[in-house]
Amino acid sequence: MTDLREKVARDRTFLKKLELAIPGFRGYRKREDRRVADSLLRKQLADRLRECTRMAEEIREALASQMELDLIREAGNLVNRLDALESKVRHAEQGYAGVSPDIKVLEDEIERLYEFDYHLIEGIEKLKKLLNSAKESVLMGDMDGYKTQLNAINSGIKDFLSTFNRRIEIITETGVFA
């Protein structure tokens, strides 16, 4: 994945570059660039979670076509959990919010937050693999395999949410770095 901070820096307009040269504006410009990069990352994470939701919907449809009525409800719950998770990520607090923010995050803290974000991306990729395996189990009629995968998916969602909530605690200053 491209470093979003580098992309934002490359895409600066002439005016933004001028602001970097003026004392007092440099810090503001750099913080604003980090905020934009953080916003782009949130959107990418949410978009990837939307893919997971779509995959869970496909599993629910496959269960319906196989008349596995007792498992459809659980699949519906999975769709709802992933949809809620996507919404939470999409509308989360950002890394820096302008000239006079209520929430201030220092540069070194932002770097640590990117570590959280990397773990979130890894978590989403793990969820995608588990969802693919779950769908394959359903299509092959292996409902025991599907139930095993569903447990792993629910555990992955729990881990993702825990990491995400920890990140929010740090960004809102209700938690501390370990």
pLDDT digits (tens, 9 = 90+) for 24-78: 555 555 666 666 766 787 788 999 999 999 999 999 999 999 999 889 999 999 9
Supply the pLDDT for residue 123: 95
DSSP per residue over the chain, as a string? ---HHHHHHHT--HHHHHHHHSTTHHHHHHHHHHHHHHHHHHHHHHHHHHHHHHHHHHHHHHHHHTT-HHHHHHHHHHHHHHHHHHHHHHTPPPS--SSS-SS---HHHHHHHHHHHHHHHHHHHHHHHHHHHHHHHHHTT-HHHHHHHHHHHHHHHHHHHHHHHHHHHHHTTSS---
Whether the per-residue pLDDT at 137 is higher than 90: the answer is yes
Please write the tens of the pLDDT for every residue from 100-114.
444 455 566 666 777
| pTM score | 0.72
